[in-house]
Structure 1
Amino acid sequence: MHLTPDQIGTYREQGYLAVRNVFTADEVRELQRVTDEFVERSRGVAEHTDVFDLEPGHTAAEPRLRRLKAPHRQHPAYDRALRNEAVLTPVRQLVGDGVRFQNTKLNLKSPEFGSPVEWHQDWAFYPHTNDDVLAVGIAVDDMLLENGCLMVVPGSHRGPVLDHHQDGVFAGAVPPGGFVEQAVPIELHAGDISIHHARLLHGSAPNRSQRPRRFLLFEYAAADAWPLVDFPGWEQFNDRLLCGDPTATPRLEPVPVRIPLPKHARAGSIYEVQSALAESAFG
């Protein structure tokens, strides 16, 4: 699926897009079925693992899976979605012909629960040598205001990198400010995708509905964008290359950078990192 010139212009100016009907009904049903299976499997764990990140209150009787870590490693359906040409085509239009994935995750919000994600810029977690870095979110379910859809601040990707520290440690979020009044929702139906720039300020509220909200997130970067922290090593770095050729020459651009250090004792998923915050922006 190719983006139109208007869509590309909107992404450059506003920092985000919603693209409709990227995944077929059959592909959506498979993602829903596989995700249901992982929620069922989470009944068998009582604490976070290298696969499951659990909501507070999770029990075997009432499973509340908050995140499936590295889903592309957990099931072929997620890996196929990561490599789906309907996703990679617009990504290449936005970051260039060489594409590497940064990481993958599946965020879930249980009905009438579902942890919020506090206001943050992805760039604060993983700055690179240039900012041709973005996230693609696949709506496994309808994602509306009532069940905690993604909220973004248009144009914020062209501004500064905000301080995501609190009490001297990286807390993975910024306190709410006047930008909240400028935030807009990205409402999606199952099978739609969102695309947002790594420097775009965004967050999401708890799920206040009776319907689940599952959001499959893939973070992609230009092949010549090199991470400034947590470099995985040459072989693993290039194992993430989906399009184009490896390069030992990073492209350097004058982009604003803050380093996400020092880490606090509860480093882990974004939910654990943000647990250092004294107060939630979403109550």
Structure 2
Amino acid sequence: MRTEDVLAYRPIVLTEAQRVSYFSDGFLVLPDYVPGPWLARLSAATQKLLDRSRCVTRSDSIFVLEEGHSAQNPRLHRVTSPQDHHPTFWEFICDPIMTDLAAEVVGPDVKFHHAKLNVKSERGTRGFKWHQDVPAWPHTDYSPVTIGVYLTGCDTDQGPLTFLPGSHLGPLHSMYDNSGAFVVHMRDELAASISADMIETATGGPGTTVLLNCRTIHGSAENSSDRARPLLLPVYSSADSFAYTPSPIMSPRQGDIVRGRPARFACFDTRPCELPPDFRAGYNPPWLAQRDEEKRADRPPML
């Protein structure tokens, strides 16, 4: 759905100023948005998945492991598609607390695309270089929004999300390196031009929620604290927005309408988007792709 069409609907969760801020900046931070009872249930479900990972010895289609992971000390980057592995996540993703919020920025008819749970374990879990999301899963328009929820809060030393305000209005950058490998981040020579005064950071207490447009340049530093940083990241779009390449993260729930009605016509945005690899041949999650890139370049990990 086009921005002007979304704005024609009266907001029911956000203020008009908050909604204008999202469309202007490409992101919006809502401190302490998700209430305690939901956070308790989501944290308990996260612990169940963390316990399940104890018997996993290498990254697989569900768990992306961090170096040093063991049964005694489980360390995770990510749980892929948590809604397919514990019912609490899908219940939350479909709850009006999330779908009504998504509707504020994508329109009244809301479609689910995918989700991940970025656990970002304590003491050295690597960061995520500057990137944009939509080149990994192109859609017919740029309505998709990731709604990130910090389950236990996030301080500056935990590797919070960082953004370049207004970058969603600029170009999409290649997520391929100079050798043609899909590394899921901007090329280093472009990233080097980003200065500290251009960056905004999303920190906050438990339940703090971040709305992130699919074109916005963002990243995060490593988690140098002694606390994990679980961040639930479901992706929603307008019902009339359609993915046109195989998704890197598959789910039987992909494409489900979680609010409103299905679309009869597709919305098209003519701004181009570089295509990702054909993920039917396999998908290397971002941290593993960046680790492999570092090995190829024989350089130390990003700090």
Query: What TM-score do the two structures reach when normalised by structure 1?
Result: 0.91
SS at 1:138's partner residue? strand
Deviations 1:77-104 (A, max 9, x none): 1112211211211211111111111100
Counterpart among 135, 142, 146 of residue 124 in structure 1: 135
Unpaired segments of 5 or more residues in structure 1? none
Aligned-pair distance for 1:107?
0.3
Partner of 1:159: 170
> Partner of 2:67: helix, strand, or coil?
coil
Counterpart position of 1:218: 234
Could you say which residue in structure 1 is the equivalent of 2:33?
22
Aligned to 1:9: 20
- Output aligned runs, 1:187-226, within 5 Å: 187-226=203-242
Q: Contact 2:69–2:76 at 8 Å: present in 1 too?
A: yes
Structure 1 position 59 matched with structure 2 position 70: yes
Name the stretch that deviates more: 18-27 or 69-78.
Answer: 18-27
Alignment of 1:215-254 (within 5 A): 215-230=231-246, 239-254=255-270
Give the 3 Å change call, closer, same or farther, for CA 158–280 of structure 1 in structure 2: farther
For 1:157 and 1:108, the matched residues in 2 are separated by: 26
Aligned to 1:82: 93
Q: Report the RMSD for the aligned CA atoms in angstroms.
A: 2.2
Work out whether residues 72 and 79 of structure 1, in 8 Å CA contact, stay in contact via their aligned partners in 2. yes
Asked if 1:171 is matched to 2:191, the reply is no
235-244 vs 147-156, which deviates more? 235-244
SS at match of 1:136: strand
Identical counterparts, % of pairs: 26
1:237 offset after TM fit, Å?
Answer: 7.5
C-alpha separation in 1, matches of 2:267 and 2:130: 29
2:113 touches 2:255 (CA, 8 Å); kept in 1? no
Tell me if structure 1 keeps the 8 A contact 2:32–2:204. no
Q: 1:217 to 1:231 in 2, by over 3 A?
A: closer
Letter in 2 for 1:221: S
The superposition leaves residues 49-81 of structure 1 with CA deviations (integer Å, 9 ceiling, x where unpaired) of 232111122112221022111111111211122
Deviations 1:166-206 (A, max 9, x none): 11121111122222431111112111210010000011111
Tell me: CA distance 1:52–1:31, structure 2 relative to 1, closer, same or farther (3 Å): same
Question: Does the Cα contact within 8 Å between 2:140 and 2:266 map onto a contact in 1?
Answer: yes
CA contact (8 A) 2:112 2:255 kept: no
CA 9–74 in structure 1, closer or farther in 2 if over 3 Å, else same: same
Q: How many residues are matched?
A: 280
Report the CA distance shift for 1:154/1:280 in structure 2 as closer, same or farther (over 3 A). Answer: farther
Structure 2 residue aligned with 1:185, among 201, 215, 225? 201
SS of the residue corresponding to residue 194 of structure 2 reads: helix
Poorly superposed stretches of 4+, deviation over 6 Å: none
| Structure 2 gaps, min length 5 | 1-11
- Residue matched to 1:145: 156
Greater CA drift, 188-197 or 252-261 = 252-261
**Where does residue 255 of structure 1 map in the other structure?**
271
- Whether contact under 8 Å (1:21, 1:192) holds in the other structure is yes
Measure the CA separation in 1 of the matches of 2:234 and 2:220: 17
CA offset digits 1:212-239 (Å, max 9, x no partner): 110000011111111121179xx96875
**C-alpha distance in structure 2 between counterparts of 1:113 and 1:80, whole Å:** 32
